[in-house]
Amino acid sequence: MDERWEVSVRKEVLLEGYAGILVRFLDYFEAHHIDPETAVGDSDVFLFLQAVEICRHISEMETLEEIIEAEGQFKLLRRAANRLNGYPVDAPV
């Protein structure tokens, strides 16, 4: 498989997954009346902002190594977002 094609496909999958993570965080914030723009220092908001930052950079990723790193971070952030909402930590988003 051509690496550029694989990177492209994996980027699309990651973007979809990160969208799910962001929704899970936002659901939690809404349920607990947390404003991520003003909750400076909140560790859950920090994780949310990390997910936002990774999402912004996925389209710029060009190597398989960058994608693999983002996939590892995805797994950690998915676990955190699921934990906050009471889902099994490895539940799909």
Q: What is the reported pLDDT for 1? A: 61
Q: How many CB atoms lie within 10 A of CB 32?
A: 10
Residues of the chain short of pLDDT 70, as ranges, are 1
Alpha carbons 56 and 49: distance in angstroms, whole number:
11
Q: What is the reported pLDDT for 40? A: 82
Q: How many CB atoms lie within 10 A of CB 47?
A: 17
Q: What is the reported pLDDT for 38? A: 92
Q: What is the reported pLDDT for 2? A: 86
Please, what are the domains in the chain?
Answer: 3-85 (1.10.8.130)
